[in-house]
Amino acid sequence: MKEVKTQRSRSYREYLISSLKAPERAAGYIGVMLELDEEGFEPELLRSALKEVMEAREQMNNLSEEAKQRYEKLDKMLLETKGAEIYSLIEFLDALGFRIAIAPKD
């Protein structure tokens, strides 16, 4: 019997980090994490998404020291407040008929 070799598939996380190297995909990913749904918000999902975008940027050597410091500050705030301020803004804008959109800077 001949053994069939299959190429190993990359893990989902590796695929995700790789895809987040594209600014448009990273923006869309963060944007999805900020959207309202029936259950409300999941602050841990936003924290996780931001961490994954940071990891993608680190792999590309495209992460300034300022961005690292601002990320650490934001992550600490999200951990402490569960993103209450961000989500209150999103809920307010939603009530007015608006939504936040994340887009890469040109």
How many folded domains does the chain comprise? 1
Which residue did the predictor score with more confidence, 36 or 76? 76
Q: Is 7 contained in some domain? A: no
Q: Is 43 contained in some domain? A: yes
Q: Which residues span the domain enclosing 44?
A: 13-95
Q: What is the mean pLDDT of residues 52-58?
A: 95
* pLDDT above 80 for 10: no
* pLDDT above 80 for 1: no
Q: What is the CA radius of gyration of the chain?
A: 17
pLDDT at 3: 53
Integer Cα distance of 49 and 23 in angstroms: 13
- pTM equals 0.80
Q: pLDDT tens digits, residue range 12-24?
A: 889 999 999 999 9
pLDDT at 5: 52
Which residue did the predictor score with more confidence, 35 or 103? 103
pLDDT at 99: 87
DSSP per-residue string spanning 40-89? ---HHHHHHHHHHHHHHHHHTT---HHHHHHHHHHHHHHHHHTTHHHHHH
Q: Is 4 contained in some domain? A: no
Q: Is 21 contained in some domain? A: yes
pLDDT at 4: 52
